[in-house]
Each structure stands twice: as structure tokens, then as C-alpha cells.
Amino acid sequence: MQKWFDLISESSILIQDKELVYFIEGHFGYSPVIRKNKHGSVLKRKAIKMQGAPPDDTPELCNLRPIVKQFYRQTSESSVKLEKVIKTLRVLSASEDELGLKFISIADMVQHSGMSNAFRKLGKTIQSISHSRLTQANTKAVIFIDTLSYISSDAFIVEETLMNRQILIKELLSAQASSRSKISTITRLKSSSSIKPEKVDEVLASLEETRSLEQNLNIKLTRITTNLLQEGRKWTKRTSNDIKSSLKEYTKRQIEYERRLLAILESSRPDIRNIDHTGGLSRLGREFSRLKNRNDINSSQTAQGDAWSGIQRQKNHIEKEYDAKFLKRIDDVLDARSAFEILGTKVN
């Protein structure tokens, strides 16, 4: 609300609108006057939209409307697709929560104490992941869908405003054509042998009315063009800033989600490693020592960086046969030619 009010207040054009003045000066029970278009005017507007764009002497506004129209369509489609993605994420979260409950029920049926604790911890971990995924889906809905809906509706208003300007240009061209037609009529009357005074008065009055309309339309078009040039640049900058800020906010939330997910997964390591005396990671070349305390495992999120485990791998003493040519080049820099030679491909 504050952002909208700041945007309205900073606009030197909207601040002069009568409805806005009534809104600011009125009480809380104020309701704006909404002028509904008649059905015939709506059909007329659709017919005008289907026609080609009139000649425009302002290329910036002429090129802006197709861009805004395409932007409006893409943001609307993206919002609909994101809603489907978020709906799928919520269904996935519910399925993961159900899977966690099944793992917990399996833990009650297992006789081995280590396996029972591991299954129970695994079930709770999956449930925690499902809750985090649901929170992240709601966050994505708030950040992306709301932002896309706002900029999409804003782009639609901009596109309609630019369309109103094109309609005004067509009305001005029609008034100019009518003026030329009436001038040619007066020219024919001058060259006519029999001139009727009432006919001349009628044509002159019509010409004066058409010229007055043409002048008013010209002044109105000039004022609207000047305002739209300023507002078009402001809209482009404002929309770009909104998209950047939403992406920045989503990136921060995504990083927090990944860190929280990593912490949830790390909390299950003690129960997995203490299933039996051999340990869960004994086959991966790591030295295993039975954990007496759950806090013995270092967290991966430290100042030195992220890692799954702080225990270093043991050296592999299994003897392997290597190709003599590979041993000869093992200290050399591995470039494209040596790589082909190692793979047995001869490079000319």
C-alpha cells in the first residue's frame, strides 16, 4: 500500500486527477466513480485493435506497445505456470510427509535397535524436508506469483493506455481528412455557377467545427505523448527494479532453504552411522570411530566452507596396473593431445 501511495504521489500527472484529489481529501467511506463502458463501445474498441497501427511520429511509443503487449502475455503465462509448479510442490510435500510416516511405522516393526532408530530418524527427516519444501513453495508463491501478477496488471494498463493514444491518432487523422473534404467542398461551391447561401453557411459551420475538433485533438495528443514518454521510461525502470528485487529476495530465501535442508540431512548422520559397529561410511574409505556424542560430528556450515564430513579419506593402498605411457605423462600438463594419446587415439 505504501509503495502504491508513493508511486501515485510522485506522479505529477496523477496528482492532478480529480478522483485522486477526492480520495485524498475524502473520508474513509469514499467510493470512486466507475464509468462502465457500454457494450457497443467495447466491440468498437476490439474492432479498432484488430486494425493496423496508424502512422506515428514518435517511434519510442510506437515500438513500446508491442513490447509491453508481449511482456504482458509472457508474465501472465509465467504466473499460471508457476501456480501449477507450486501446486505440484505442495502435492510432493504431502507425499513426502506420508512417506516419512511410513518409515516411522516401519521402525516400530524392526527388531534391531540400530535399524529401528535409523528408520525412525529417517522418517522424521523426510517429514522435516516435506515441511521445509511446503514453506519454500509458499515463499515462491508470495515472491514470484504476487510480483508477476502485479507487473502483469501494470503492463496491461500501460498497453491499454498506449492503445488509447493510437485511437486518438486515428480520430485526429479522421478529423484532418474531414477538414480536407470540407475544404474541397467549399472550393467546388466557389467554382459553381449557382451558390446557395444556406448551403455555404452550413459547410462553413461544419468546417469550423471540424477544425476546432482537430485543434483540440492535436493539443490533447501532444500532451498525452509528452506524458507517456515520461511515464514509459519510468514504467520500464520500475518494472526492472521490481523483477530484480524479487529475484534477489528469492535467491536469499533459496539459500536459506538449502542451508536448512542441509542441516536437516546432517542431523540424521549419527543414527545412520551408529546402526552397527562397522559404521555407515566404512566402505567409502573413511576411518570410522563410534560416536559417543551426537555433537562429535562437525557441522558442514563453517567459516572454512561447506562439506559433508570433516573426516579425511584414507589413502587407497590397492595396487592397480597403469599404462606406462600414462605414468610417464602423469606429471605433465594434461592437454588435448596428451588426452587423446592416453585414450589410445592417435593425433596427427
pLDDT tens-digit series, residues 226-247: 989 988 999 999 999 999 999 9
Q: Does the pLDDT at position 164 exceed 80?
A: yes
At 302, give phi and psi (nearest 5°).
-125, 175
In the chain, where does DSSP find H-type helix?
A: 2-10, 18-25, 39-50, 59-109, 113-140, 146-191, 197-266, 269-273, 324-328, 336-342
Q: How confident is the model at residue 319 (pLDDT cuts 50, 70, 90)?
A: very low
Which of 263 and 291 is assigned the larger pLDDT? 263
C-alpha–C-alpha distance, residues 79 and 85, integer Å: 10
Cβ pair 112, 118 in contact under 8 A: no
**How confident is the model at residue 270, as a pLDDT?**
79
Looking at the chain, which residues constitute the CATH 1.20.1270.60 domain(s)? 46-279
Cβ pair 69, 49 in contact under 8 A: no
Cβ pair 219, 50 in contact under 8 A: no
Q: How confident is the model at residue 248 (pLDDT cuts 50, 70, 90)?
A: very high
Q: How confident is the model at residue 288 (pLDDT cuts 50, 70, 90)?
A: low
Q: How confident is the model at residue 54 (pLDDT cuts 50, 70, 90)?
A: confident
Helix axes 59-109 and 113-140, enclosed angle (nearest 10): 160
Q: Which CATH architecture has domain 46-279?
A: Up-down Bundle (1.20)
Range in 24-38, 164-178, 307-321 with the lowest mean pLDDT: 307-321
- Nearest alpha-carbon partner for 275 in 116, 165, 167, 138: 116
**Mean pLDDT of all residues in 99-119:** 87
Mean pLDDT: which of 128-132, 272-276, 341-345 is highest? 128-132
